[in-house]
């Protein structure tokens, strides 16, 4: 067989070279300018090296540092920006602290309930304002959760100090704690917030940003010292006198204020200094400063006068507001500068990264172009490989596996990848492998066909010998009068029938259909009886409930074979004293036959394996021969679309056979034959020795084409006699068929005989081999009677023993012809063969 043209020329094979050794030769010159012709090593180097070098050189050098600096500046800008909320919280906390100091001094001076209530009412709005400022701070600090650790620690300390202030507020109205303890918590909270305000650091390479932070931090400290002085002077005014250490503390705070103001002037810009100077010349600012200077001693022994409380609180509060405005302006300048530097750094980073991405994109584009060439080739090769592995090769193997005639020609398609790189060579090599696989499959198919032909030849020859053996047994049974010998002859007859079934199993192994076919529908009950007749322990089969259904004639023989195999297994693997029950019923347009036994059963694993074999016919191999019954049933069921499944039922098994609607037929119409009546088949009863182990009614348990009868103490033997009879129609129920042929006719007398057949057979010439060609129906003219009108009678269901040998001789002739490998007969013009075909 030709496995298909070779898409590439190959050098002649030297003597002794293996026929599977195929060298792939390029079909054109390789061009270094053609991308698809590059070597695989070059393509991989292009795809991998160029993007890798570009990424390492550009991204490694620039991206890391730029992204790090951009991230640091972005965090710095956000930390500086949150300074607005920090300074607002500091301002609210300072006002609450200073007012609390005055209320504590008043409470310690008077100390009645009315003063405590008044202090509570005065401080409550300040508490609410401080809480609101800290809530804003917490909200603004949320995005900074991933900031640097130092800032996170300072922020946590500030919140902890504020929580302590919240807890100490309840100790103010009763004045149970000292002023230092209560005000000390406020001082710590303010100092922690100022420390958080000074925490942002842009790094050593950004000194201008560090100075911007230092400016608003120094100004915030100036404002804090001014607030401390205000609180202490307000407490003295409310108490009506100075404490023992008030002047010392005031002097120290004044010195620190002047130092912080000097540090601010050193770090601040000219505009910021001018803004502070303008603020310091405001009337409220000047008045507060003068009152503050009057309250601080200049070295004398006399204490300065105590300031009026309300006047001092009013002017000092105005001064704090002016300082808050300057602080806000300086802080805004720092925020704007930090945001500007961060944005500039971000733009620089984006530009550099954009250049990196551009270069990397060009490298990736080149890699994509090269990789696409590889990917497309690999995809086409993969698709072809999958198509060959999953579609083409299995389809070719199926075609070669189901060969009935000659081995078909299998074309192997060429390679789908035509490039000259390693992928193209791989595709060519894969096509060579495919071609070799097809060649091996073709050789196996030819070997399998030869083996199948051997099976068929041996089976046909064995069938001819078995049929001749059955005919000889028929003759011996008719002439034998000794009951013991007659029983032995019947046993031989039954063994021969089982041998015939084994021959048919060999034909199934070879994939050949059965030659036993009928043109008319047959009752399902008759099919089951015929199957029971083909097994050894037929006496144990009980047909309990069989529906009145009919099976199409062309499937009767193989259904009988299928059910006989299942009945054989049911009787072989169950105790001899248990029956095998057969039921048949109509279901969903088809029929269901169940064969139940009470035998050994099967393990779940064995049952699953058996059902897998029954569901999907396996190929013929040694395992199929070892379990020929399941193999034959599986193939016969698949041939006719019959479903067979085994299921556990108690101690035994139930074989469920589902016949599709296509295998069922309507009851056949009564057949009225107006032609000369053929000689009918009938039987006479001859006494003989006992042969049957138990009683059997005429309608049950045929044995190898016979039915026992024990109506009397002496068993009966049927002897076929050919006698003339009137034409009778076929029973509406349909007859079942034995090896002798269809049962027909009604009983007639025994004294008549058939006309002698012609001495010279009628032929239609010879065929190309020189063999005579039979003319169908030509011999019947001498064995029929002239046509005469006869009344129509319904044929009764005949006794299986009445089946004669005429159809057996026909089968023998067919099998002899098959054994001699006669494949075709040419009929004379105008003569039709079986089924009306020329």
Report pLDDT digits (tens) over 61-81.
777 788 888 888 888 888 899
- Residue 475's contacts (CB-CB under 8 Å, 6 or more residues apart) are none
- Residue 272's contacts (CB-CB under 8 Å, 6 or more residues apart) are 215, 326, 329, 330, 333
Label residue 18 by pLDDT band (50, 70, 90): very low
Residue 544 falls inside a structural domain: yes
CA dihedral (244, 246, 251, 252) in degrees, to 10, reads 100
DSSP code for 661 = G
Report percent pLDDT > 90 for the chain.
21
Which of 428, 449, 470 is a domain's end point?
A: 449
CA dihedral (490, 494, 495, 501) in degrees, to 10, reads 160
> Across residues 781-795, what is the average pLDDT?
45
DSSP code for 171 = G
Q: Are residues 638 and 683 in the same domain?
A: no
Label residue 206 by pLDDT band (50, 70, 90): confident
Q: Are residues 88 and 167 in the same domain?
A: yes
Residue 422 has pLDDT above 80, yes or no: no
The Cβ of residue 364 has, within 10 Å, a number of other Cβ atoms equal to: 17
Report pLDDT digits (tens) over 622-638.
655 666 788 888 888 88
**Which helix (H) or strand (E) covers residue 78, if one does?**
helix 64-81
Structural domain count, the chain:
4
Q: Are residues 305 and 178 in the same domain?
A: yes
Report the side by side order of strands in the sheet with 522-523.
Answer: 522-523, 550-551, 664-665
How do 580-587 and 541-546 pair as beta strands?
parallel
Which of 614, 638, 667 is a domain's end point?
A: 667
Label residue 429 by pLDDT band (50, 70, 90): confident
Q: Are residues 41 and 104 in the same domain?
A: no
Sign of the four-CA dihedral 188, 189, 195, 198 = negative
3-state secondary structure of 706: strand
Distance CA 761, CA 774 (A): 8
Q: Are residues 98 and 198 in the same domain?
A: yes
Report pLDDT digits (tens) over 644-697.
999 988 788 999 999 999 899 888 877 554 444 333 333 323 333 333 333 333
> Across residues 384-390, what is the average pLDDT?
83
Q: Give the pLDDT of residue 832.
A: 43
CA neighbor of 734 nearest in space, from 533, 544, 519? 519
Contacts 24+ apart (CB under 8 A), 628-633: 628/505, 628/509, 629/565, 629/566, 629/568, 629/569, 631/508, 631/509, 632/505, 632/508, 632/509, 632/561, 632/562, 632/565, 633/562, 633/565, 633/566
Q: Give the pLDDT of residue 795.
A: 47
Residue 792 has pLDDT above 70, yes or no: no
Q: Are residues 653 and 709 in the same domain?
A: no
Report pLDDT digits (tens) over 346-355.
898 888 888 8
- Residue 32's contacts (CB-CB under 8 Å, 6 or more residues apart) are 38
The Cβ of residue 252 has, within 10 Å, a number of other Cβ atoms equal to: 13
> Across residues 534-549, what is the average pLDDT?
88
Q: Give the pLDDT of residue 176.
A: 80
Residue 637 falls inside a structural domain: yes
- The residue with greater pLDDT, 305 or 255, is 255
Residue 148 has pLDDT above 60, yes or no: yes
Residue 230 falls inside a structural domain: yes
DSSP code for 703 = B
Distance CA 640, CA 560 (A): 13
DSSP per-residue string spanning 790-826: ----PPP---GGG--SHHHHHHHHHHHHHHTT----P
Structure tokens at 489: 């002859």
Q: Give the pLDDT of residue 461.
A: 81
Q: Give the pLDDT of residue 724.
A: 32
Label residue 621 by pLDDT band (50, 70, 90): low
Residue 151 falls inside a structural domain: yes
Q: Are residues 707 and 638 in the same domain?
A: no
Contact between 500 and 467 (Cβ < 8 Å): yes
CA dihedral (48, 53, 56, 58) in degrees, to 10, reads -130
Label residue 720 by pLDDT band (50, 70, 90): very low
Contact between 222 and 264 (Cβ < 8 Å): yes
Q: Are residues 708 and 647 in the same domain?
A: no
Q: Are residues 721 and 771 in the same domain?
A: yes
Distance CA 45, CA 557 (A): 71
pTM: 0.45
Q: Which of 129-133, 185-189, 275-279, 695-699 has the lowest mean pLDDT?
A: 695-699
> Across residues 256-283, what is the average pLDDT?
91
CA neighbor of 118 nearest in space, from 53, 175, 163? 175
How do 643-649 and 652-659 pair as beta strands?
antiparallel
Distance CA 728, CA 292 (A): 147
Contact between 420 and 30 (Cβ < 8 Å): yes
Going from the C-alpha of 203 to that of each of 71, 340, 665, the distances in angstroms are: 12, 16, 99
Q: Give the pLDDT of residue 353.
A: 82
Which of 667, 700, 728 is a domain's end point?
A: 667
Q: Are residues 632 and 748 in the same domain?
A: no
Sign of the four-CA dihedral 663, 664, 669, 672 = positive
Label residue 10 by pLDDT band (50, 70, 90): very low
> Across residues 694-704, what is the average pLDDT?
35
Residue 210 falls inside a structural domain: yes
> Across residues 756-771, what is the average pLDDT?
60
**Chain CA centroid to CA 499, Å:** 50
CA neighbor of 691 nearest in space, from 477, 541, 472, 471? 477
> Across residues 16-22, what is the average pLDDT?
39
Residue 336 falls inside a structural domain: yes
- The residue with greater pLDDT, 827 or 197, is 197
* pLDDT, the chain, mean: 75
Q: Are residues 445 and 329 in the same domain?
A: no
Report pLDDT digits (tens) over 210-269.
888 999 999 999 999 999 999 999 998 888 888 778 888 888 888 999 999 999 999 889
Q: Are residues 713 and 613 in the same domain?
A: no
Q: Which of 161-170, 434-443, 574-583, 607-616 has the lowest mean pLDDT?
A: 434-443
Q: Token pair 């529908």 is at which residue?
A: 521
- The residue with greater pLDDT, 16 or 35, is 35
Contact between 285 and 318 (Cβ < 8 Å): yes
Domain CATH code at residue 616: 3.30.565.10
Range of the domain at 373: 35-48+358-449
Report percent pLDDT > 70 for the chain.
72
- The residue with greater pLDDT, 161 or 508, is 161
Output phi, psi for 706, to 5 deg: -125, 160
Output phi, psi for 623, to 5 deg: -65, -35
Q: Token pair 């030769």 is at which residue?
A: 25
Residue 198 has pLDDT above 80, yes or no: yes
Residue 187 falls inside a structural domain: yes
Q: Which of 196-210, 262-276, 455-469, 637-651 has the lowest mean pLDDT?
A: 455-469
Q: Give the pLDDT of residue 94.
A: 93
Residue 28 falls inside a structural domain: no
């Amino acid at each position: 067989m030709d496995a298909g043209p070779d898409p590439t020329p190959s050098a002649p094979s030297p003597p002794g070279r293996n026929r599977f050794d195929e060298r792939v030769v390029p079909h054109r010159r390789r061009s270094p300018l053609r991308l698809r012709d590059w070597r695989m090593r070059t393509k991989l180097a292009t795809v991998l090296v160029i993007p890798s070098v570009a990424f390492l050189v550009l991204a490694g050098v620039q991206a890391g540092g730029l992204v790090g600096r951009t991230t640091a500046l972005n965090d710095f800008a956000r930390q500086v920006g949150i300074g607005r909320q920090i300074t607002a919280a500091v301002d609210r906390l300072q006002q609450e602290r200073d007012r609390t100091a005055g209320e504590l001094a008043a409470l310690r001076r008077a100390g009645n309930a009315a003063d405590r209530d008044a202090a509570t009412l005065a401080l409550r709005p300040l508490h609410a304002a401080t809480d609101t400022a800290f809530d804003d701070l917490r909200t603004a600090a949320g995005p900074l959760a991933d900031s640097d650790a130092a800032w996170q620690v300072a922020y946590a300390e500030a919140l902890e100090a504020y929580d302590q202030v919240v807890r100490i507020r309840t100790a103010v109205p009763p004045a149970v704690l000292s002023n230092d303890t209560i005000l000390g918590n406020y001082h710590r909270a303010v100092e922690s917030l100022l420390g958080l305000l000074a925490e942002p650091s842009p790094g050593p390479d950004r000194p201008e940003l560090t100075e911007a932070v230092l400016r608003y931090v120094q100004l915030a400290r100036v404002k804090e010292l001014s607030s401390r002085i205000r609180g202490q002077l307000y407490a003295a005014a409310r108490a009506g006198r100075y404490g023992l250490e008030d002047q010392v503390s005031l002097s120290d705070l004044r010195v620190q204020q002047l130092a912080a103001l000097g540090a601010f002037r050193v770090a601040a810009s000219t505009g910021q200094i001018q803004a502070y100077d303008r603020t310091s010349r405001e009337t409220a600012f000047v008045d507060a400063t003068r009152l503050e200077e009057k309250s601080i001693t200049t070295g004398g022994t006399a204490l300065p006068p105590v300031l009026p409380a309300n006047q001092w609180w009013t002017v000092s509060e105005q001064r704090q507001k002016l300082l808050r405005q300057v602080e806000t302006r300086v802080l805004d300048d720092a925020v704007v500068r930090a945001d500007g530097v961060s944005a500039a750094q971000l733009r620089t980073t984006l530009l550099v990264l954009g250049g990196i991405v551009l270069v990397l994109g060009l490298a990736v584009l080149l890699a994509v172009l090269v990789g696409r060439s590889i990917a497309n080739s690999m995809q086409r090769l993969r698709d072809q490989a999958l198509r060959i592995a999953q579609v083409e090769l299995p389809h070719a193997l199926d075609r070669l596996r189901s060969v009935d005639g000659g081995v078909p020609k299998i074309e192997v398609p060429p390679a789908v990848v035509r490039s000259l790189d390693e992928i193209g060579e791989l595709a060519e090599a894969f096509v060579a492998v495919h071609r070799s696989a097809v060649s091996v499959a073709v050789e196996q198919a030819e070997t399998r066909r030869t083996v199948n032909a051997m099976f068929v030849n041996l089976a046909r020859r064995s069938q001819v010998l078995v049929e001749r053996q059955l005919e000889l047994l028929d003759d011996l049974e008719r002439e034998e009068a000794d009951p013991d010998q007659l029983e032995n002859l019947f046993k031989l007859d039954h063994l021969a029938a089982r041998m015939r079934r084994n021959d048919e199993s060999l034909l199934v192994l070879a994939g050949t259909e059965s030659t036993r076919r009928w043109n008319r529908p047959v009752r399902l009950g008759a099919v089951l009886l015929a199957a029971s007749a083909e097994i050894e322990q037929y006496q144990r089969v009980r047909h309990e409930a069989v529906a009145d259904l009919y099976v199409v004639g062309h499937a009767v023989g193989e259904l009988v074979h299928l059910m006989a195999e299942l009945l054989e297994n049911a009787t072989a693997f169950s105790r001899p004293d248990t029956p095998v029950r057969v039921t048949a019923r109509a279901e969903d347009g088809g029929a269901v036959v169940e064969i139940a036994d009470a035998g050994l059963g099967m393990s779940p694993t064995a049952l699953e394996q058996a059902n897998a074999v029954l569901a999907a016919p396996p190929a013929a191999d040694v395992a199929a021969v070892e379990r020929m019954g399941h193999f034959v049933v599986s193939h016969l069921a698949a041939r006719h679309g019959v479903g067979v499944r085994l299921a556990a039922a108690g101690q035994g098994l139930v074989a469920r056979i589902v016949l599709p609607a296509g295998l069922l037929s309507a009851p056949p119409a009564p057949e009225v034959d107006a032609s000369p009546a053929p000689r009918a088949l009938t039987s006479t009863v001859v006494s003989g020795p006992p042969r049957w182990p138990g009683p059997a009614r005429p309608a049950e348990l045929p044995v190898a084409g016979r039915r026992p009868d024990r109506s009397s103490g002496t068993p009966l033997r049927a002897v076929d006699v050919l006698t003339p009879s009137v034409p009778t129609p076929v029973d509406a129920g349909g007859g079942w068929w034995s090896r002798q042929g269809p049962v027909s006719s009604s009983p007639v007398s025994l004294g008549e005989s058939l006309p002698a057949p012609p001495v010279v057979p009628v032929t239609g010439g010879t065929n190309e081999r020189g063999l005579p060609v039979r003319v169908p129906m030509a011999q019947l003219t001498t064995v029929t009677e002239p046509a005469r009108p006869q009344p129509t009678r319904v044929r009764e269901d005949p006794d299986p023993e009445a089946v004669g040998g005429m159809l057996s001789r026909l089968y023998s002739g067919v099998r002899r012809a098959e054994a001699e490998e006669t494949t075709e007969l040419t009929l004379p013009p105008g003569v039709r063969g079986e089924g009306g075909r020329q």
